[in-house]
Structure 1
Amino acid sequence: MHLKLMTLSNDTSKIGLCNSLLRMAVIGLYLQEYAHLAEPHKQNCSVLYSADFDSFDNPIELSHPYKNCKTPVAVIGSCRGLILLRGVDYGHLLLYNPTTQTYNVLPLLSVYRSATEHVHFDYGFGYDSVSRDFKCVRIMQCLSKELGYLCEVMVYSLRSNCWKRVADVPCYFSSMNHGWDTGALLHEMYHWVGTNSDNVYDLIVAFNLRDETFSRVPLPNLLQNLHFEQISGLYVGMLDGCLSLLANRYPHCDLWVMKEYGVAGSWTRIFTFGTRLSMNLIKPIGYSIDRKRLLLKTSLLKLHCFDLETMKYTALMFADWNGGLEPHVYVENLLMLDYAEFIDDIHASQKRGKRKNRRRRRRRKTEN
């Protein structure tokens, strides 16, 4: 199996073929506390594992770039063997290839800052097969008492290694659905659930990675015009090559798939989950190889297996760890990314933060 990918280097005109290995894996990212260290050296570190998909055998701890930065890390998405990571404390975004252990740091973007503003972010990551380019989209939305609603949509191109601003998103994204992985990539379109001005779930917003424009995908008729009080969560995903939708409506949760993309009447409800766990479901990860089980991600940062014969759940252990688990599926490839130093910048930021904290403590002591 081969993927047509850019051979990324300083010469962006070079185009080549990179082998794509047939191994699939699930990524687990969580904080691990080194309890054996004495204070003040005790620290939390983000640990990233890969393992064979379905069997979860052969777990391997990866030396990802944030490993020794002592900062929470979010896995935003995965596409064609690359993973988009974000350092939560410092806002750095980077593309990481776990197979080749190479990465690219994305240029840092500014953020609206005001005590009266509420800012949240949504991200998307995918591949444009026409321009043969990996792209990341960052949607920043905020509500300000002084300025009202503000929006900024920025798109990053790995080929040009720069951001550009595009047209604003046509609706607001509910903070209820806000998270690092609440969207879904399908057909080179990235999808999120949107709301209208009356706080009603009324559409799915799709961003086309090719022409960098937004469009709308209708919800199932049964779910249209439902307010937040009627739905505790609505999440898009991808299952079997179809757009999927998990609708958490107490006391059950419905899993829908869009059999024919873009056709409203093709939405089909394939499962209804009726247990307490169903209220924490976020998205399907995929069927097992034998198609007897369905892997599901939950808001509890766990991965559950739903047996399609017994209709029972099983919480999956991963690498002997029962903490937060952020599963992502990827296909290995040999794409080499340009290595970019940024660890020293992270450490420098941490030192500056420690110095500021010491100055604040000294000022408080002086004032008292």
Structure 2
Amino acid sequence: MAQTKKSLKCSTTEIYTHQRPKRGKPTNHTHSPSKDSILANPTLSEEVITAILVRLPVKSLLKFKSVSKEWFALISIPHFVKTHLSFSANYSTRHRLVLQIDKYSPRKRIHRHCSVASLFYDSVTETFDLDNPVKDPVLFTSIAGSSNGLICYNICHDLTLWNPSTRKFKQLPDLGLQMTSDFHIGFGYDRVHDDYKVVAIIREFRTNYYYAKIYSLKSDSRRTMDDYQGARLYHHSGMLVNENLHWITKYDDGYGIMFIDLVDGKCSKVEKPWYGKEYLDLKLGVLGSHLSVICCHERSDVWVLKEYGVKESWTKLYTIKCPYYMLSPPLCMSIEGEILHVFRSTLMTYNPEDDLMRYPEITNLDGYDHLEAELYIESLGCPVLQNEPMAQH
């Protein structure tokens, strides 16, 4: 365990580009090169400097942007941002959890964040207030999803994309959510078009008709889907897997799984697992890169779709003997196989090998009635468009 923990810790690399010489007697031939000229001709090659920088945390990179114009440009280019994201995805210390915490009396909602690795390996996990772009504490906010370090916030029916690592955010145009209280939001990245998209599925109260709108960050535009197959959705946020946003649907004959393809905007279905009988409830989640379902009746069965699009690849991972309403779908898994869940108003890790439940000690969670959690990766991803003024909190 100790050796595994060490491998998860990421040491910060210090970079020294120039050390000021000790003060001595001046000579006529002494010439002090300017700071820019030294950085323009470093001892290390540009490839080596890039290889070092992409391995550093966002906090360090934001400071290093002020070293020189060259470093600012390097750290800002899209290729560097994507390469840095791929490294961060492999460092568990760069994975964080946003906690949406509710107290029913008096009505209160707050957001905090904590380290995922700490939940698995530290004796105590500290949570921190999430300094989100919501200025008015009276406004009721919820998290509609996250992708590549960006979080989609629903702030009283107004949507905002926000990067908590860089604190840059963008308020999205009106998608018509103010006109109804029955809507479902999904957020994700379209790799084919290098674009972030928000999907809003809205129910028209008068006609009970469902329709869908898609917002594109790249074009800063929204459109109504032409072929949306209107269906009653059971849970609010879409789960992103394979560039598709998934929702649980509720029909008269039971539950189903619907998805919207972010690449072409088409709507289709995923076959649910075959479990022999109808369950009282289904909850949809994502475990790693796999779609997951928690099937609930007198116990909670956790399934994953190991090969996307192949019904026969649905595999039951484990069963937890607890009521379905207490347990969330799995959030993530440690190297040793422990799996993180929300359990009631706290977090729980479960080991399928020995059927052991463990409740990490977490600061600032006592006294609350309900908890939801969303994973995100620290990244340099920018929620604003090129040539658009950056909003920063």
TM-score (norm 1): 0.72
How far 1:72 sits from its partner (Å)? Answer: 2.0
Q: Distance in 2 between matches of 1:169 and 1:186?
A: 19
How far 1:135 sits from its partner (Å)? Answer: 0.5
Aligned counterpart, 2:118: 55
Aligned counterpart, 2:333: 287
> What are the Cα deviations for residues 55-95 of structure 1, in whole angstroms up to 9, with x where unaligned?
144543231012543222111111100011111xx311101
Aligned counterpart, 1:319: 363
Q: Secondary structure at the match of 2:371?
A: coil
Structure 1: give runs of 5+ residues left out of the alignment. 3-13, 36-42, 344-368
Cα 1:286–1:15 shift into 2, 3 Å: closer
Q: Which amino acid aligns with 2:112?
A: Y
Aligned counterpart, 1:29: 100
Q: Distance in 2 between matches of 1:67 and 1:313?
A: 39
Q: Which amino acid aligns with 1:334?
A: L
> What are the Cα deviations for residues 248-289 of structure 1, in whole angstroms up to 9, with x where unaligned?
11x11211111211111111112122223x443231101123
How far 1:302 sits from its partner (Å)? Answer: 3.4
How far 1:121 sits from its partner (Å)? Answer: 1.3
- Map 1:55-134; keep pairs closer than 5 Å: 55-56=118-119, 57=125, 59-66=127-134, 68-87=136-155, 90-111=156-177, 120-134=182-196
Residues 45, 69 of structure 1: 8 Å contact kept: no
Q: Which amino acid aligns with 1:222?
A: Y
Cα 1:119–1:64 shift into 2, 3 Å: closer
Q: Distance in 2 between matches of 1:204 and 1:106?
A: 28
TM-score (norm 2): 0.68
The answer as to 2:355 corresponding to 1:296 is: no
Residues 49, 61 of structure 1: 8 Å contact kept: yes
Aligned counterpart, 2:289: 241
> What are the Cα deviations for residues 181-216 of structure 1, in whole angstroms up to 9, with x where unaligned?
4x32111111111233x2422x31111111111111
Q: Distance in 2 between matches of 1:223 and 1:152?
A: 33
Cα 1:69–1:16 shift into 2, 3 Å: farther
Q: Distance in 1 between matches of 2:390 and 2:281?
A: 39
Cα 1:306–1:15 shift into 2, 3 Å: closer
Cα 1:30–1:66 shift into 2, 3 Å: farther
Residues 29, 326 of structure 1: 8 Å contact kept: yes
Match of 1:187 among 219, 242, 250: 242
Residues 242, 259 of structure 1: 8 Å contact kept: yes
Q: Secondary structure at the match of 1:54?
A: helix
Residues 346, 365 of structure 2: 8 Å contact kept: no
Aligned counterpart, 2:254: 200
- Map 1:12-23; keep pairs closer than 5 Å: 15-18=78-81, 19-20=84-85, 21=88, 22=91, 23=94
Q: Which amino acid aligns with 2:217?
A: L
Q: Secondary structure at the match of 1:282?
A: coil
Q: Which is richer in strand?
A: 1
Cα 1:130–1:69 shift into 2, 3 Å: same
Structure 2: give runs of 5+ residues left out of the alignment. 1-53, 56-76, 120-124
Aligned counterpart, 1:262: 309
Q: Secondary structure at the match of 1:130?
A: coil
Q: Secondary structure at the match of 1:55?
A: helix
Q: Secondary structure at the match of 1:17?
A: helix
Identity fraction in percent: 26
Q: Distance in 2 between matches of 1:134 and 1:311?
A: 39
How far 1:139 sits from its partner (Å)? Answer: 0.3
Cα 1:237–1:314 shift into 2, 3 Å: same
Aligned counterpart, 1:347: none
Q: Which amino acid aligns with 1:178?
A: H
Residues 341, 348 of structure 2: 8 Å contact kept: yes
Residues 232, 279 of structure 1: 8 Å contact kept: no
Q: Distance in 1 between matches of 2:392 and 2:289?
A: 37
How far 1:112 sits from its partner (Å)? Answer: 7.9
**More displaced, 311-320 or 325-334?**
311-320
Aligned counterpart, 1:160: 219
How far 1:332 sits from its partner (Å)? Answer: 0.8
Q: Distance in 2 between matches of 1:129 and 1:192?
A: 20
Cα 1:281–1:59 shift into 2, 3 Å: closer
Q: Secondary structure at the match of 2:117?
A: coil
RMSD value, Cα: 3.0
Residues 333, 340 of structure 2: 8 Å contact kept: yes
Residues 30, 47 of structure 1: 8 Å contact kept: yes
Aligned counterpart, 1:357: none
